[in-house]
Amino acid sequence: MVPNALGRMVPEEMDGKKLKPFMGAHADHGGGRKASPPIKAVPDYANKMRASLDEAIDACEIKDGMTVSFHHHLRNGDYVINMVVDKLAERGLKDLTLVPSALFPVHEPLIDHIKNGVISHIEGSMNGPVGRACSLGTMSKACILRSHGGRYRAIQDGDIHIDVAFIAAPAADYFGNCNGHSGPSACGVMGYALADSLYAEKTVVLTDNLQPFPVFPWVIKGGNVDHVCTVDKLGDPEKIISGTTRITRSPTRQLIAEYAARFVKDIGVLDEPDFTFQSGAGGISLAFLKYLGDIMRETGVVAKFARGGSNKYLVDMLEEGLIEYILDGQCFDLVGVKSLGENPRHLETDPFTSYCYHTKGNFAPMVKLGILGATEIDTDFNVNVNTHSDGWLLHGIGGFADVTDSQITMITAPLLRGRLPVITDSVTTITAPGEVIDVLITERGVAVNPAREDILARLKGSDLPVATIDEMRDMAVGLSGLPEKPEYEDRIVALIEWRDGTVIDTVRQLKPQE
């Protein structure tokens, strides 16, 4: 174990793999060469259609210890991951590495396959029940959590070698071209599956909506696909995306969103050319869009682009002309899906163009304002989105680490969630270092990272409740009291990887709690 640049002790090797400690947000510049998938030829792919998922799986010749990957655009409606892993378990396979871009509560049945040794560990992302199982030490190897950009990088750089990629495709043709724009399981954007299709040994496309050739746009290109099969249903449409995303009704969260919008106005970024922003689909983010829209309308500002998570509110802004383009990473509601299919200014992106750190550039640093939520933030502005203050691993990183490359990264969060203060002296787990976090906006105050003297200077004269982060910590803890720290075993159950592949923190197994 060695201390990384943030003083967290991290291993130099784990399960036989050499690891690099985190050195700083932009310290590591890569090097070496990308992974190389096998060379194939046309004559072997005369017919890719398989009669069933079983046939497709058998054609892949999966063996113990292999790595299989999935994407998460079907979110909590996804049937595919459980369906495929059940079939792998039926075949008696063991010790598989699962590489999903995210997991949801619907994937709770995986826990049995983890306990039975079908799955040895997970690299990518975990949410909810599977994360909880990980915290209890259920997996035989340490998991690795990566951001969306980090997952692309790891596949591209060869840190993960995918043997078989399973791609759930809401619309596909017999050749394997596919996208998420239409069909009963339409999910809109499907970019998270791109790296899998480019670098896997074998790629299987599953669809419940087989269309005549050519399905276009071919977000996933048939030339990268080995097998195509149909299944009854890819997922539950009602849970794939919400019918409508809803602005928070909590007055406190609305107040946070209003402060965030006033912050944007007061620091003057709207007066500069080329305004751009990225905001998620959480309740505070949506309310922020509403307030930001009001200010943009008043001041006549038009954003060059907005990074989505698309949703009704962002699409409304696009259609009203407040945004020139949506560069979309995933659709959060039906309005987003419809707009992606119809509006030429609503563009589909993937983690290579938007997030991957080992490229010759991506969109993330072009974004002026990134608005993000957090579970915890400490007085050094380090942020945790992975574990709760009681030590449970409950969330993936998502795009969080990648969005922090924005020119101004804003964290919006309630200062107190019930009794839990969001500010701590030292976060339970570091997802992103304080050096990339610029301001915390809560219902009781706005704290700017003291390293951003420029922002502090621009906030002079603002009537926002500006305070130091220490003052805000005292405000919160004064009411709540200091929480007790969780107790851990020695064993590391998960590594948190920074965007560049270095280890920024670890998650330890929780001591059994009564």
Partner 1 sequence: MSDSVQTRAGREGKKSDLAVQLTEKDAGGIKINVESSVGHMFGEQIEKTARETLESLGLENCEASIDDMGAFDYVIMARIEAAARRMREIDGPGCLPGRKVEYGPPRRERLRRTRLYMPGNNPDLMRNGGLFGADSVILDLEDSVSPGEKDAARLLVRNTLLTIDYFDCERIVRINPLSTEYGADDLEMVVPYGVDTILVPKCETAGDIKVVEEIIGGLEKKHSLGYEVLIMPLIETAKGILNAYEIGAASDRVVALCFGAEDFSADIGTERTKEGAESFTARSLLVLGAKAAGVQVIDTVFSDVQDEEGLIASTKEAMALGFEGKGVIHPAQIAPIHAVFSPTPKRIEYAKKVVAAIEKARSEGSGVATLGSKMIDAPIEARARKILRLAEALGLLEEETGGGS
The Cα 403–Cα 412 span in angstroms is 14
Sheet holding 323-328, edge to edge: 346-348, 323-328, 303-307, 276-279, 369-372, 408-412, 439-442, 445-448
The verdict on 473 binding partner 1 (CB under 8 A) reads: no
Least spacing, CB of residue 464 vs partner 1, in Å: 12
The verdict on 512 binding partner 1 (CB under 8 A) reads: no
- The candidate with the shortest Cα–Cα distance to 441, out of 414, 461, 402, 417, is 414
The verdict on 420 binding partner 1 (CB under 8 A) reads: yes
Give the interface size with partner 1 as a residue count (CB under 8 A): 23
Of 22 and 291, CB closest to partner 1: 291
What is the identity of the amino acid at 347? L
Task: Note the helical H segments in 40-142.
Answer: 53-60, 80-90, 110-115, 128-135
Print burial letters for 226-241: b (CB count within 10 Å at least 16), e (below 16).
bbbbbbeebbbbebbb
Least spacing, CB of residue 444 vs partner 1, in Å: 7
Question: Do the strands 171-172 and 178-179 form a parallel or antiparallel pair, or are they unpaired?
Answer: antiparallel
**Contact (Cβ atoms closer than 8 angstroms) between residue 4 and residue 503:** yes
* Bridge partners, residue 121, by sequence: 97
Of 19 and 413, CB closest to partner 1: 413
Least spacing, CB of residue 176 vs partner 1, in Å: 48
Options 100-108, 124-132, 337-345, 418-426: segment touching partner 1 (CB under 8 A): 418-426
The Cα 303–Cα 325 span in angstroms is 8
CA angle 422, 428, 434 (to 5 degrees): 70
Selected binder of partner 1 within 251, 273, 300, 344 (CB under 8 A)? 251
- Residue 363-402 contact track with partner 1, rule CB under 8 A, x = bound: --------------------------xxx-----------
The verdict on 418 binding partner 1 (CB under 8 A) reads: yes
Of 92 and 418, CB closest to partner 1: 418
Options 32-40, 56-64, 247-255, 350-358: segment touching partner 1 (CB under 8 A): 247-255
The Cα 497–Cα 152 span in angstroms is 12
Selected binder of partner 1 within 254, 310, 349, 362 (CB under 8 A)? 254
The verdict on 471 binding partner 1 (CB under 8 A) reads: no
**Contact (Cβ atoms closer than 8 angstroms) between residue 22 and residue 504:** yes
The verdict on 468 binding partner 1 (CB under 8 A) reads: no
Selected binder of partner 1 within 213, 479, 489, 491 (CB under 8 A)? 479
Options 89-97, 182-190, 248-256, 345-353: segment touching partner 1 (CB under 8 A): 248-256
Least spacing, CB of residue 509 vs partner 1, in Å: 15
**R_g of the chain computed on alpha carbons:** 22
The Cα 70–Cα 314 span in angstroms is 28
* Bridge partners, residue 488, by sequence: 510
Chain contacts with partner 1 (rule: CB under 8 A): 251-252, 254-255, 389-391, 416-420, 443-444, 461, 478-481, 483-484, 486, 513
